Structure 1
């Protein structure tokens, strides 16, 4: 049986972050035939700088690019920091956008989910990820976006939130890949 591989980029570096735990839960509950793999090491990436992205890019950037290029889909799980996406996630997208026009995200279906302890549930961060990843060439799946406030419910245990997240993963997996 062929498996659909989904690279999961977590926008929080904190080991016990809510979004990290959310991503781990999605990995553990992946549908049959779907392999979600959290791409670790985003915190090891230097800030993107074209001067160091030559014939021998940093090892952390090579690992990130290889992990995402080997995946059939990308799922971003992120909180919102100061009304936007975390810098570590923006930096990862910058590394994945190169080389220009042929980066690891080009043509890859991508969705965004996450929670944040604000009334907005991360909508602004998710919109920024959608815009940035789209510019980088990802095939952003607009209806694979779950922005959830963690104020009124526990997103890790709330059945409605869990179903919305599982549904987002299924939609991401079910979308036809874009021909490159």
Structure 2
């Protein structure tokens, strides 16, 4: 059972799966930040391209790369996490996969553990990034996140301008609201 709560000062950390400056998914993330519901801060986490590929040899308490430590801190401080991503060759982009790898460590205590997580995005394919979104959700779940299934929006950008279409923007904004309002059900003892 899931219950929705009134939002007060909720922060959603956003991981954009595209590094391209003019990326449609980056623009979607920016629109979602501008249109966030009252009481919700949508915080786009920049710098994912500067984070080295995950490697246990460089992930140690004394010497974690500053960019990876900053990612962990930023996501760890957020209440929720949203991936806004395209699909590359039928899966999530390497930059998003790498971010999730860094956020999954230390195992069982990473920055994603227990965080409600959602994924949305658009691609110029008939399925709108469905496989990338499934991969991101699976990876985040394995990393300890609580994937909120009602948040997933895989939007085809073939015949619609995803940045201006009112129906698309409404679905994306509802996804953000659902993620912000999500609270896991409590189990009665």
TM > 0.5: yes
* Residue 19 of structure 2: aligned partner: 13
* Residue 27 of structure 1: aligned partner: 33
Q: Cα RMSD over matched residues?
A: 1.2
1:73 corresponds, among 73, 80, 84, to 80
For residue 36 of structure 2, give the secondary structure of its aligned residue in structure 1. coil
* Residue 173 of structure 2: aligned partner: 166
2:55 maps to 1:49 = yes
Q: How high is the TM-score relative to the length of structure 2?
A: 0.92
1:83 corresponds, among 90, 101, 110, to 90
1:123 corresponds, among 112, 123, 130, to 130
- Once the two structures are superposed, what CA deviation does each residue of 1:132-171 show, in whole Å capped at 9, x if it has no partner? 0000000000110000000010010000000000100011
Structure 1: distance between partners of 2:73 and 2:57: 20
- Once the two structures are superposed, what CA deviation does each residue of 1:59-107 show, in whole Å capped at 9, x if it has no partner? 0000000000000000110000000000000000000000000000000
For residue 51 of structure 1, give the secondary structure of its aligned residue in structure 2. coil
Structure 1: distance between partners of 2:185 and 2:109: 14
2:63 maps to 1:40 = no
For residue 95 of structure 1, give the secondary structure of its aligned residue in structure 2. helix
Does the 8 Å contact 1:107/1:178 carry over to 2? no
In the alignment, structure 1 segments of 5+ residues that lack a partner are none
2:145 maps to 1:138 = yes
Larger relative CO (CA 8 A, sep 6+): 1 or 2? 2
Structure 2: distance between partners of 1:108 and 1:79: 22
Q: What's the offset of the Cα at 1:2?
A: 3.8
Runs ≥4 in structure 1, deviation > 2 angstroms? none
Compared CA separation, residues 39 and 178, structure 1 to 2 (3 A): farther
Q: What's the offset of the Cα at 1:120?
A: 1.0
* Residue 66 of structure 2: aligned partner: 59
Structure 2: distance between partners of 1:169 and 1:26: 8
